[in-house]
Structure 1
């Protein structure tokens, strides 16, 4: 399982977001690992990143959860 702490780090990092279509929330906790190995991504409107205007009907969102495994 790799190296672990003697006590878990239970402090949580949380955030949220919303637009006209979606509301989301997320939370992460380091736990027993020596460092936070997981990551996340949330983009409510991918088209805004292309500088194109979008309407709620044609909007595309992206949500990703990346489960870390000891830096591998």
Structure 2
């Protein structure tokens, strides 16, 4: 049951990441009113990518504990 929830959460995170990346690529001005050049867009994507790596590591750790928990209950 927890593995299904884990997959649902991962799909939600993927949708959030993709929509955030699309938003960062198509916006012309940021919240401060600064025009978004290619360099600024790429740096914003790099920050989002670093956040994705952090979330991925947390998800991998959660999956490890879910898998370990299910193995203990089956023995």
| TM-score of the aligned structures, taking structure 1 as reference length | 0.31
Structure 1 or 2: larger helix share?
A: 2
Q: Which has the higher contact order (CA 8 A, sep 6+)?
A: 2
**Higher alpha-carbon Rg:** 2
Give the structure with the higher percent strand. Answer: 1
TM-score, length-scaled by structure 2:
0.30
